[in-house]
Amino acid sequence: MPGIRDRVAVVGMGCTRFGELFHWSDQDLMVESCYAALEDAKMDLKEIKAAWLGIQGAETGYSGCKLARALKTDYIPVTRVENYCATGIEAFRNASYAVAAGIYDIALACGVEKLKDTGAAGVTQMGGEGQFGSWVWAPVIAPARFALAATRYFHTYGLTPQEGKRMLAMIAVKNHHNGSLNPRAHFQREITIDQAVNAPMIAWPLGLFDCCGVSDGSAAAIITTPEIAKRIRDDYLLVKGFGVCADGGTFGVIPSDYDYVHIEAIVRSGKMAYEEAGIKNPRKEIDVAEVHDCFTITEAVICEDLGFTQRGRYKQDIEAGTFNIEGEIAVNSDGGLKCFGHPVGATGLRMVFESWLQLRGQAGARQIKNARIGISQNYGGLPGGGISGMVIVGARD
Amino acid sequence: MAGITSYGAYVPLWRLSREAIMKGVRGEKAIRNYDEDSTTMAVAAAIDCLKGQKREAVDAVFFATTTSPYKEKQMSTTIAAACDLRRDITTCDFTSSLRSATSAIKAALDAIKAGSAKEVLVAAADCRIGAPGTEFEQNFGDGAAALLISDKDVVASIDAWHSISNEAHDYWRLDDDTFVRSWEDRFVFNAVYYDIVTQNVTALLKKTNLAPKDFARVIITAPSPRVLSDIPKKLGIDPKAQMQNPLYDIMGNTGAAYGLMLLVAALEEAKAGDKILLNNYGNGSDSLAITVTDKIAKKVEGRRGLKTHLASKKIIDDYRIYLQWRGLLTFEATPTPPGGFISASALYRDRSQIYPLHGRKCKSCNNIHFPPQRVCPTCKAKDQYEDWRLSDRKGTLFTFAADYLCQRREAPRVTAIVDFEGGGRMATIMTDRVLDEIKIGMPLEMSFRKLATQDGFHNYFWKSIPLRG
């Protein structure tokens, strides 16, 4: 099979500001991101032949109508997709495959989430995950799930809680710095190591600054064939590879030898995407790495899983500045989930939006020099049981 | 002669310092955690009692309490399910009286005598609440005991019995009362209590041709520590040599479970040939004459009973925590609303994983998983498994998290990944823990608890706890 490499192109993207957008509904957010994408591609809505909407939501039953009703699309197929926190990538992947299959010449992928209408400070329990009707699974909030990995990471690599928390704080400080350079980010303030280490506890050992923003937002992309892309603009991007892996494990039924310091679905999705894109040395070849830093520990584990550093070596690399904007491989140059925010369904497309800006030299104060290859990687679920979704895009040769 | 073939007990980990309730008051009382109730404590005592016993041999479960969590729904069925007993057994709840535990023993003995059962498990548990500021609040403790009643290889035979039924309002609760009521104590002690107890004990002595001095131990379930100085005189016994320590200072009066708990305490100290007199009070009185046999030394080894449970404790010196655990002091709603809902059909379908905590062992690769899976997560074999009980297996802590966004009386909620001895791993909530003492690799065990009361259900499940004793 030929795979996806160089078979579809991105010709326009839109992304709202992320944050506590109490004045905007999900309809406002979708209209903003999709119209921005259409304007970017100098395209009219009626040129879109099919659309995919990524929204996780607190419940199911949304359907494609949510997007159709917002945009008033004209009886085209619109499909709602949902795959935990990898929902945004999933919308992008479905639209890409439809174009690559030759069924539609132009497709829209939109991701949106409206988290700030719940009245809760954190994320309320999302439907589906590990909940039996008998409710023997008392809800375990997302920070606690990933805190299990943090506790075990410290233990495995011989870090005291203080050393471990300091390593995590460096991730938060880096991402807050990057967020301060991004006018769309939810959080645009720098923080210090001490602030992060001493922040209120959310789920030991993760404090407030170890947790990503709970935000509203939307992002959208227009996908077409390279032939059509050439007629629209010179600086389109090409999709190089996808990797999506579902892990069958969940609380309790993860095989007993699971180590809690790596996530197999991420390792496998990385291999899958690298192979399709022809990437042999990720640390050298990738310029823009947007990865799923739902919590600081997740960024550390992902960087090891995706081969940006070796197992247990994340601490040395973050201390050396490897993952800074000017470092060897910039990780979360737009502030990541930590500071850009995490409106679940929109996040994957927001990550692709960073590649869209960086690979076209449009990233302003946070521009990475000579950026040619960007990855976007989402992970949803819990360590050892979830979905990893990844896409690699490249600048046109 | 029928009698007791095994015993067990349970005292919650937590003790409320009485000083926390009122300055100048001494001692402590055993208090259940917020996720415990009479049913969960009865399960803990029953499992202690069933150590080394054949669970499949139990023919009946009788549960005695005045604090059943349901008005309409039997809890002996829940206890039987959590203990992984057979389903073709008799279950019955003995409720509404402080005398219910001895009534249950009487029914057990009668069943054995009549031949309708060979082994009966009697579990008694209580967690009564005294109104804040009252003597009851000082006196009441929480706990449970369980006895296995049979006529084979008894460690103590129950030789004689005398009962009196007495209609009086001494202590009571209306069906919607939270706190125990009583009439003036001078009436209760002088006109009712002393009279009934002495009449009853005298009748038992007459029936057995025994004298007060023949008993190595006399157990009295005193409704108040204030009667303890008068009772020995009235019964003609030596308060120092014969009276069973009432454990008021370190445990409190544990209601319907009190008599059986004190009996377990007496049996722990007893030697072959000792005679024990147990008087249990409540809407009348039951008196039992018990003789300890030579099986006592060997047959009941390894039980935690009263001694180990009383020694394993954590002190609460903040009265507000106690009020919160009893639901007498409430906080604003949680910052993160709890998800999930409870479904009766799902509870029924999943009962073997919920109550006895059955996981599955894959016959193809021998790996153990919880919750039960159709397809083995390790070797992918389909439908090749056998049930594997995890509730009585010890484990160690692999990793943990402590969530501060949960409901406040629980904060922080500790999620603990437990690796079981013999295989299997489970994500649990860890309860009865002190945060600073949690360490990867620490030994854990499982404890039957109430996860939540929601949607009209008490939702029971197993949690992990640091190994006790």
Q: B357-403, pLDDT tens digit by residue?
A: 999 999 999 999 988 889 998 899 999 999 999 999 999 999 999 99
CB atoms closer than 10 angstroms to residue A11: 26
Pick the residue from chain A with its C-alpha nearest to B335: A120
Q: Would B210 be classed as within a structural domain?
A: yes
Give the CA distances from residue A343 to residues A26, A113, A379, B132, B199, in Å, rounded to whole numbers and listed in that order.
11, 5, 13, 48, 75
pLDDT, residue A254, reads: 75
Average pLDDT over residues B121-129: 98
Q: Would B398 be classed as within a structural domain?
A: yes
Q: Which of A202, A253, A261, A295 to mutate to test the interface with B (most CBs of B within 10 A)?
A: A253
The CA distance from B177 to the nearest CA of chain A, in Å, is 30
Q: Would A188 be classed as within a structural domain?
A: yes
Mean pLDDT of chain A: 93
Same domain, yes or no: B243 and B299: yes
* Residue A303 annotated in active site: no
Q: Which of residues 158-177 of A touch B (CB under 8 A)?
A: none
- Quick check: B405 and A202 CB within 8 A? yes
CA angle B170–B174–B34, rounded 5-degree value: 105
The helix/strand count (H/E) of chain A reads as 13, 12
pLDDT digits (tens, 9 = 90+) for B415-467: 999 999 999 999 999 999 999 999 999 999 999 999 888 878 898 999 999 99
pLDDT band at residue B334 using 50, 70 and 90 as cut-offs = low
Pick the residue from chain B with its C-alpha nearest to A255: B378
Same domain, yes or no: A181 and A44: no
Average pLDDT over residues A203-213: 96
* A·B CB contacts under 8 A: 153
Last residue of a domain, one of A198, A231, A264: A231
pLDDT higher than threshold 80 for residue A16: yes
Same domain, yes or no: A266 and A226: no
Q: Which residue would you say has higher pLDDT here, A103 or B371?
A: A103
pLDDT, residue A259, reads: 95
Asked if B425 and B417 count as a contact pair (C-beta separation under 8 A), the reply is: yes
Same domain, yes or no: A191 and A107: no
Q: Would A135 be classed as within a structural domain?
A: no
Whether the CB of A155 is below 8 Å from some CB of chain B: the reply is: yes
pLDDT, residue A130, reads: 40
Same domain, yes or no: A381 and A354: yes
Q: Which of A297-301, A320-324, B63-67, B407-411 comes out lowest in average pLDDT?
A: B407-411
Same domain, yes or no: B187 and B237: yes
pLDDT higher than threshold 70 for residue A352: yes
Same domain, yes or no: A53 and A180: no
Average pLDDT over residues A309-323: 98
Same domain, yes or no: A301 and A167: yes
pLDDT higher than threshold 60 for residue A132: no
Whether the CB of A208 is below 8 Å from some CB of chain B: the reply is: no
Same domain, yes or no: A296 and A176: yes
Same domain, yes or no: A191 and A308: yes
pLDDT band at residue A133 using 50, 70 and 90 as cut-offs = very low
Task: Please state, for a pLDDT cut of 70, what percent of chain B lies above it.
Answer: 98
Q: Would A323 be classed as within a structural domain?
A: yes
Q: Which of A15, A34, A85, A211 is catalytic?
A: A85
Q: Which of A116-125, B23-32, B189-198, B326-335 comes out lowest in average pLDDT?
A: A116-125
Same domain, yes or no: B200 and B246: yes
Q: Return the half-sphere exposure (C-beta side, CA atoms, 13 A cut-off) of residue A70.
A: 24
pLDDT, residue A59, reads: 62
Burial class of residue B51 in the structure, from the number of CB atoms within 10 Å of its CB (0-12 exposed, 13-18 middle, 19+ buried): middle
- Quick check: B402 and A253 CB within 8 A? no
A249 vs B contacts (CB less than 8 Å): 377
Same domain, yes or no: A339 and A199: yes
Q: Would B334 be classed as within a structural domain?
A: no
Average pLDDT over residues A314-336: 98
B412 vs A contacts (CB less than 8 Å): 201, 203-204
Q: Would A121 be classed as within a structural domain?
A: no
pLDDT higher than threshold 90 for residue A256: no
pLDDT higher than threshold 90 for residue A255: no
Q: Which of residues 251-280 of A touch B (CB under 8 A)?
A: 251-256, 258, 260
Asked if B380 and A269 count as a contact pair (C-beta separation under 8 A), the reply is: no
A152 vs B contacts (CB less than 8 Å): 398-399, 440
Q: What does the buried/exposed string (b/e) look like for B229-255 if buried means 16 or more CB atoms within 10 Å of the residue's CB?
A: eebbeebebeeeebbbebbbebbbbbb
The CA distance from A238 to the nearest CA of chain B, in Å, is 38
pLDDT digits (tens, 9 = 90+) for B37-52: 999 999 999 999 999 9
pLDDT band at residue B103 using 50, 70 and 90 as cut-offs = very high
Q: Which of A176, A262, A292, A342 is catalytic?
A: A342
pLDDT digits (tens, 9 = 90+) for B168-197: 999 999 999 999 999 999 999 999 999 999
Asked if A349 and A210 count as a contact pair (C-beta separation under 8 A), the reply is: no
Same domain, yes or no: B73 and B215: yes
Structural domain containing residue A22: 9-116+217-231
pLDDT digits (tens, 9 = 90+) for A60-96: 678 999 999 999 999 999 999 999 999 999 999 999 9
- The CATH number given to whatever domain includes residue B227 is 3.40.47.10
- Quick check: B412 and A252 CB within 8 A? no
pLDDT digits (tens, 9 = 90+) for B3-17: 999 999 999 999 999
- Quick check: A120 and B370 CB within 8 A? no
Q: Would A134 be classed as within a structural domain?
A: no
Same domain, yes or no: A265 and A227: no
Q: Which of B357, B362, B399 to mutate to test the interface with A (most CBs of A within 10 A)?
A: B399
pLDDT, residue A119, reads: 74
pLDDT higher than threshold 70 for residue A124: no
Same domain, yes or no: B239 and B363: no
CA angle A206–A207–A208, rounded 5-degree value: 130
pLDDT higher than threshold 50 for residue A128: no
Same domain, yes or no: B196 and B162: yes
Residue B413, H or E segment? strand B413-420
Last residue of a domain, one of A231, A264, A290: A231
Q: Would A260 be classed as within a structural domain?
A: yes
Shortest CB distance from B378 goes to which of A139, A251, A255? A255
pLDDT, residue A135, reads: 52
Q: In angstroms, rounded to a whole number, what is the distance separating the alpha carbons of residues B53 and B301? A: 11
Considering only CA atoms, give the Rg of chain A.
19
Percent of chain A that is helix, strand, coil (3-state, to 5): 35, 20, 45
Q: Is A68 helix (H, G, I), strand (E, B) or coil?
A: helix
pLDDT band at residue A117 using 50, 70 and 90 as cut-offs = confident
- Quick check: B402 and A201 CB within 8 A? yes
pLDDT band at residue A116 using 50, 70 and 90 as cut-offs = confident
Same domain, yes or no: A26 and A165: no
Last residue of a domain, one of B267, B294, B325: B325
Q: Would A2 be classed as within a structural domain?
A: no
pLDDT higher than threshold 80 for residue A189: yes
Same domain, yes or no: B404 and B303: no
Last residue of a domain, one of A231, A262, A295: A231
Number of separate domains in chain A: 2
Q: In angstroms, rounded to a whole number, what is the distance separating the alpha carbons of residues A64 and B49? A: 59
A143 vs B contacts (CB less than 8 Å): 401, 403, 405
> Residue A101 corresponds to which amino acid?
A
Task: Please state, for a pLDDT cut of 90, what percent of chain B lies above it.
Answer: 89
Q: In angstroms, rounded to a whole number, what is the distance separating the alpha carbons of residues A170 and A360? A: 29
Same domain, yes or no: B237 and B111: yes
Shortest CB distance from A251 goes to which of B343, B402, B427? B427
Q: Would A127 be classed as within a structural domain?
A: no
Same domain, yes or no: B352 and B253: no
Structural domain containing residue B125: 3-325
pLDDT higher than threshold 70 for residue A123: no
Same domain, yes or no: A354 and A263: yes
* Residue A342 annotated in active site: yes
Shortest CB distance from B347 goes to which of A131, A134, A139? A134
Pick the residue from chain B with its C-alpha nearest to A257: B425
Number of separate domains in chain B: 2
- The CATH number given to whatever domain includes residue A353 is 3.40.47.10
Q: Would B335 be classed as within a structural domain?
A: no
pLDDT higher than threshold 80 for residue A127: no
Q: Which of A296-305, A354-363, B71-80, B345-354 comes out lowest in average pLDDT?
A: B345-354
Q: Would B339 be classed as within a structural domain?
A: no
